[in-house]
Amino acid sequence: MRPFKVVITDREYEQIDQEKRILQAAGAEVFDYQYKDEADILKVAADCDALIVQYAKVPASLINGLKRCKIIARYATGVDGIDLKAAGEKGIYVTNVRDYCTEEVSSHALALLLELSQKTAQYSRWIKEGQWNYRKGLPCAGLKEKVVGLIGYGKIARACARKLKPLCDQIWIDSKHASAEELKKEGLVLKSREAILANADFISLHAPLTKENYHMFNKSTFEKMKKEACLINVARGSLVCEEDLFRALREGQIAGAALDVMEKEPPNRDNPLLTFDNVILTPHIAWYSQAAQERLQSAVAKEVARVLTGSKPENCVNSEFLSKNAAGMV
């Protein structure tokens, strides 16, 4: 009996020793590539038993070319870019990794918010340029009496609210799932999206990227925000229309933005958002700590090993599409 074939399409991690150890114990051989192009992936993965992806897109055309694949596992929480329906109809599990970086991302969101509020990095840069002048960065917003709005209330937003609570008395939540009573017990307030847009001094995005949420912050949204307001995004780049954000900043419709994620990563050097002093950019690093990376890599390998050895995965994200006729899928 031949070993299971596991193909890693692409990765940015220095080594995959954990994956190899876990998967070899399950009777699999790991084939490691750096391919993002569909044609290149199909050349090496058409006969794979499992596909592990990081940034590579997995459309229906690629899925239909997989002859024996049982699982597509992603090194991430989000699964945008993978056709969940096409995979399910072919009896292929799609899995993600949950909760591996909740503390890291929530802390990074708070760090970005504090930088927008206190401007510490800007002051440091000005001093190094020979400008010792506290007035240069005024006004500094402060936090205690400001309104911070969180869009979404999953685990990362909950952790962010918990860390923010000692610093800010008014934390407003936009959520379809949390109740006003639940939030009140946590010292938080349930508010409509419109109320947050009109009143929040800082808005932090913690929503998934779906068809409904694509460019949820756009020209119309920015026009509803306070001129003193700032936007933080540690979720998905395409939640924000960057062209409209640029116009809003240029025209003074909002006061600033802090982005760990962008629509195109890395951004083009001529991206106008790179020219603003009131825009903070970090390179999609919010998720990272050494421990979080280890949790992510091992979790992906364990999901693949479960499926290859006849068990169901723990974090299947396309169960609603799985074919009832596919052996072992339901």
- Catalytic positions, please? 236, 265, 284
* Residue among 329, 38, 50, 101 nearest 234 (CA): 101
Backbone angles phi, psi at 275, to 5 degrees: -95, -5
Q: Interior CA angle at 99 toward 83 and 293, to 5°?
A: 90
68: its two tokens: 């024996």
Q: How far is CA 190 from CA 162, 178, 214, in A?
A: 15, 8, 23
CA distance 204 to 250: 20
Helix, strand or coil, per DSSP, at residue 158: helix
On whether the CB atoms of residues 77 and 57 are closer than 8 A, the answer is no
The residues, any chain, with a CB within 8 Å of residue 98's CB and separated by 6 or more, are: 77, 155, 315
The sign of the torsion formed by the CA atoms of 139, 145, 149, 154 equals positive
What angle in degrees, to the nearest 10, is found between the helix axes of 102-118 and 155-164?
Answer: 50
101: its two tokens: 């970086």
